């Protein structure tokens, strides 16, 4: 189940230089075992690859949000969640919260956007999704937080799994009705992926370090 998470956990996703030539339009050093990541042909975008473009209705700014609208403007930290999740999604959400808070404290709010896309639109109404983010600690008044809700379960599958490679499985009647692999993407302001944190959510401190290196704090 959820092959991508297992592969990423086996070969690693962060660390030092590898022997492969460095991709263009990136700032951070290649992740550990970058050569193996490339050879694994993972379903999600990895270091040096362009972030896919999709447009999804936003529930914070009440307008459609494109995953590529930040190109030329700010970096992006993007993840995929659902509000009934009491497991991995809490950690994924906390990474958004900690990065947003650190950006506010250090004065680089204008340089980074934090975003989450739900894959449970039947349950995650705009009101529920906004409440979930607020409960986690996201600050909507800062203007750099984006929560998105696809129009239907079919559209959610197309966006989250088919486009971004975040695999998930529906278990009808379960308390937490979706199993998913867990994915956070750190994307630079040229729309190129700098880090793919897959599998177990990373420590927010490590993500903050990567973000600060990206914005050169």
Annotated binding site for Cu cation: 85, 89
Could you tell me which of 115, 114, 117 has the C-alpha nearest to residue 162?
A: 117
Mean per-residue pLDDT pooled into runs of 10, the chain (217 residues)? 45 44 89 88 94 97 95 97 94 97 98 97 97 97 98 97 93 82 96 94 95 91
Helices 204-215 and 88-106: angle between axes, nearest 10 degrees: 40
Give the tokens for residue 111: 């340089």
Distance of CA 65 to the CA centre of its chain: 15
pLDDT digits (tens, 9 = 90+) for 8-65: 444 444 444 444 577 889 999 999 888 888 898 899 999 999 999 999 999 999 999 9
- Contact call for residues 33 and 18 (beta carbons, < 8 A): yes
Determine which helix (DSSP H) or strand (DSSP E) holds 180, and give its type and residue range: strand 178-180
Q: Could you tell me which CATH class the domain 49-215 is placed in? A: alpha beta
Read off the pTM: 0.89
Annotated binding site: 85, 89
Domain limits of the chain?
A: 49-215
């Amino acid at each position: 189940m959820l092959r991508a998470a297992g592969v990423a956990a086996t070969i690693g996703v962060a660390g030092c230089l590898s022997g492969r030539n460095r991709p263009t339009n990136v700032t951070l050093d290649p992740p550990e075992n970058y050569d193996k990541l490339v050879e694994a042909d993972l379903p999600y975008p990895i270091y040096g690859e362009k972030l896919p473009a999709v447009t999804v209705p936003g529930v914070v700014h009440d307008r459609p949000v494109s995953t590529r609208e930040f190109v030329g403007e700010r970096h992006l930290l993007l993840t995929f969640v659902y509000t009934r999740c009491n497991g991995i999604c809490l950690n994924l959400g906390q990474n958004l919260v900690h990065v947003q808070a650190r950006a506010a404290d250090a004065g680089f709010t204008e340089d980074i956007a934090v975003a989450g896309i739900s894959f449970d639109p039947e349950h995650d109404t705009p009101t529920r999704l906004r409440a979930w983010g607020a409960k986690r600690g996201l600050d909507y008044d800062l203007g750099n937080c984006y929560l998105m809700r696809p129009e239907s379960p079919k559209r959610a599958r197309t966006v989250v799994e088919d486009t971004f490679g975040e695999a998930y499985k529906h278990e009808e009647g379960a308390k937490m009705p979706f199993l998913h692999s867990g994915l956070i993407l750190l994307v630079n302001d040229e729309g190129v992926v700098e880090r793919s944190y897959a599998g177990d959510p990373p420590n927010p401190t490590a993500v903050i370090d990567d973000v600060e290196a990206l914005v050169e704090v």
